[in-house]
Amino acid sequence: MIKIYANLTEDLLRYANEKLNDFIENYFEFNDDDFSDIFPEVIYRTKEKQCRQATKDLYLWSKDYFVHTLTPLHEYALYSIINIASEIDDDYRAHNNGESLFFYDIEPKIREENPDIDEENPDWVMGDLNEFYFYFENCFQDHDFLDVPLYLSIFKNMPTKKFESQFGIVLADYVDLMPPDIEEEYKSLLSLKELKDEIYEVTIKDDFLNVVKKGIDNFVHSIVNHGIYKLLWYKNYEPRDEKAVQLLFMATSYLYFQTNNVDVSPEANIGRGPIDFKLSRGVNERILIEVKLASNPKLRQGLTLQLVKYLLAEEIKDAVFMVIVFEKTEFKKLKGLEREVDIINQKYNLNIMIVSVDATNNKPSASKLTSDFSPLN
């Protein structure tokens, strides 16, 4: 079996591995011992034996009952195979009235034995196992193996300890995805750096963070206790979108931040795309704020992929992931996010904080609520 990082029952893990085996077998059926299309060309041509072995490993591992953890070379091959299967399936669906080549209804027995599986695993429900995005996201701890050339170029201009702390990656684990000459260059550079490496500590002053926390506290307090949540609902009792929340945050908080010498940049363009807000005081004191509705189907990806990439691209340590809750049932999603944040913060040495904003409709009057709270405490 190939390790799946989602929290699934034994039956669903077996089903997911059956699908992986289908993708891999389909690939082998149409490839005669030439696996060059699933590796970077220069890697396959210079390390063909290793690439062929990694591909054959995947074939065998998807059939046995041991749980195998993949190396970056295995990960690259599997990612490519899943991508090929996805393209084949898209073409098959287009010519067969939407019917999938690989996926079918999950066995009624599994559904019968796991009636509450969708509630127990709110991030991934049973239907997700019949979608390729599930395998792209859960067969790999991360997708760093796709960006080795980029990481290597950054590593050349950054102290080793700072690089490893900032990106949570040890390039020595990825040498199989480097051409031989680049691998030798990396090893030589690593030896030189070890002789003169420095310890870098990137910190943000407490007073800056406290100012930002207070501004967010004020915003959340106004939503929860002063009826401002009503501005986030249409008259027909439909909730507004994320853009409305961003505008309301800007309107209620801008003057406070300006008074405290904090610059607010809405929809700042950073690294791989726009972030909702970048707050800064000078060059070194910076924090990002990303706003997401709890109802957003890409809520988790917004945290684990989008926000983390932004932070790493800009070398920023602190961030607030603000989740707007319009329905009481959405609060259960926050527990899973809190666990994700703990893992991410530890892995990448970040300080991401989750703030939940209760924007549910028909709240009790403010006189019945306490005001001595902070969502960031």
Measured CA to CA in angstroms, residue 64 lies from 21, 22, 82, 130, 333 at distances of 10, 14, 19, 22, 34
Q: Which domains are present in the chain?
A: 10-138 (no CATH), 147-196 (no CATH), 206-368 (3.40.1350)
Is the per-residue pLDDT at 23 higher than 60? yes
Distance CA 341, CA 112 (A): 33
pLDDT band for 87, please (50, 70, 90 cuts): very high
Phi, psi at 100, each rounded to 5° = -85, 145
* Contact of 33 with 89, CB cutoff 8 Å: no
Only one residue has tokens 């989602």, namely 6
Using the 8-state DSSP alphabet, how is residue 263 labeled?
E
What's the rounded mean pLDDT across residues 311-329?
Answer: 92
Which pLDDT tens digit goes with each residue over 149-181?
Answer: 999 998 888 878 778 877 888 999 999 999 999
| Cα distance between residue 21 and residue 2, in whole Å | 9
Q: Take residue 233 and report the two structure tokens written for it.
A: 């609902």
Q: Which residue has the higher pLDDT, 272 or 22?
A: 22
Give the model's confidence band at 236: pLDDT under 50 very low, under 70 low, under 90 confident, else very high: confident
196 band by pLDDT with thresholds 50, 70 and 90? low
Please give the structure tokens belonging to residue 120.
């127990």
Q: How confident is the model at residue 77 (pLDDT cuts 50, 70, 90)?
A: very high
The 10s digit of each residue's pLDDT in 251-263 is: 888 889 988 889 9
In the block, residue with structure tokens 């709270």 = 373
Q: Is the pLDDT of residue 373 over 90?
A: no
Q: Picking from 51-60, 77-86, 108-117, 310-319, which range would have the lowest pLDDT averaged per residue? A: 108-117
Q: What is the pLDDT of residues 264-313, one digit of tens each?
A: 887 765 545 567 899 998 888 899 999 999 999 889 888 988 899 889 98
For the chain, how many helices (H) and strands (E)? 15, 5
Of the pLDDT bands very low, low, confident and very high (cuts 50, 70, 90), residue 50 is: very high
| CA 290, 292, 298, 301 torsion-angle sign | positive
- Euclidean distance between CA atoms 131 and 123, whole angstroms: 14
Q: Quick one: pLDDT at residue 205?
A: 47
**Where is pLDDT greater, at 352 or 15?**
352
> Of 325 and 167, which is predicted with more confidence?
325
Is 158 buried (19+), middle (13-18) or exposed (0-12) by CB count in 10 A?
A: middle
**What's the pLDDT score for residue 313?**
86
How would residue 200 be classed by pLDDT, with cut points 50, 70 and 90? very low
Number of C-beta neighbours around residue 124 at 10 A: 22
| Contact assessment for residue 198 and residue 161, using Cβ atoms and an 8 Å cutoff | yes
Structure tokens at 259: 């008074």
Residue 14 has a pLDDT of: 87
* Beta-strand relationship, 285-293 and 318-325: parallel
Higher pLDDT among residues 332 and 80, named by residue: 80
User: How confident is the model at residue 113, as a pLDDT?
Assistant: 61
| 219 three-state secondary structure | helix
Report the pLDDT value the prediction gives residue 58, as an integer from 0 to 100.
96
pLDDT tens digits along 131-151? 999 999 999 989 999 999 999
DSSP 209: H
Q: What is the pLDDT of residue 128?
A: 84
Comparing C-alpha atoms, which of 299, 304, 314 is closest to residue 265? 314
* 111 confidence band (pLDDT: 50, 70, 90): low
pLDDT mean across residues, the chain: 85
For residue 94, give every residue at least 6 positions away whose Cβ sits within 8 Å of its Cβ, in sequence order, or none.
none
For 7-20, write each residue's pLDDT tens digit: 887 878 888 999 99
Residue type, 192: L
pLDDT at 89: 95
> Amino acid identity, residue 197?
D
Q: What are phi and psi for residue 5, nearest 5 degrees?
A: -90, -5
Backbone φ and ψ of 312, nearest 5°: -70, -40
